[in-house]
Amino acid sequence: MENRSFMNKYAMQYGTYMGIFWIIKFTLFPLGFTVPFLEFFFLLLTLLVPFVGYYFTKMYRDRICGGSITFGHAWVFATFMYMFSALLTAVGHFVYFRFMDNGFIVTSYLDMLHAVDKNQAASAGLGSSLKQFEETINTLGSLRPIEITMQLLSQNVIYGSLLALPTALFVKKRAAFPIDNSEEDSKDDNNQDENKE
């Protein structure tokens, strides 16, 4: 029981760091509509997420677990870490969509769709895909901030639990050769018996 609360403590700590990273990364998303470089930077940071998760899980293994960890332990830790980071990020998402967005993301996507030449898209076979994408964006625009936040939270938890699988595979490490004290104890007992004689 103590080990589990210990693991939860560090999953919360590293999950907080990861959550701050995700919030900073998310701030680049709406800015990317006006500054294309920031959109590229957002994508780059998104691709770094599994590596950051690996780094934190490896740090937990080396600093807290004494350099060894089982696959199951690593997976549970990484899943909890991603879950805690998703919870913190959900606060950032809610604040953004409730007080700052005012339909900016939906409007930006719709403007991008309207800028696409419909004739070229139809000839390329993308007409139905664009129509479907527009319907999806309109549906997104009808959601309340809490509904968008809950959608993003559930996605982040699912993606995090999936990312935890390869992380655990790479981080798992058996303890170095365990010392078998039974042979040394029997030798000591034999030496003591000989000394008594």
pLDDT tens profile 36-84: 999 999 999 999 999 999 999 999 999 999 999 999 999 999 999 999 9
pLDDT tens profile 132-167: 888 888 898 999 999 999 999 999 999 999 999 999
pLDDT tens profile 100-122: 999 999 999 888 888 876 666 66
Q: Give long-range contacts, CB 8 A cutoff, 24+ apart: 70-75.
A: 70/172, 71/168, 71/169, 71/172, 72/168, 73/7, 74/164, 74/167, 74/168, 74/171, 74/172, 75/164, 75/165, 75/167, 75/168
- pLDDT > 70? residue 3: no
pTM assigned to the model = 0.81
State how far the Cα of 128 lies from the Cα of 118, in Å rounded to an integer. Answer: 11
- pLDDT > 50? residue 1: no
What average pLDDT does range 2-30 have in this prediction? 92
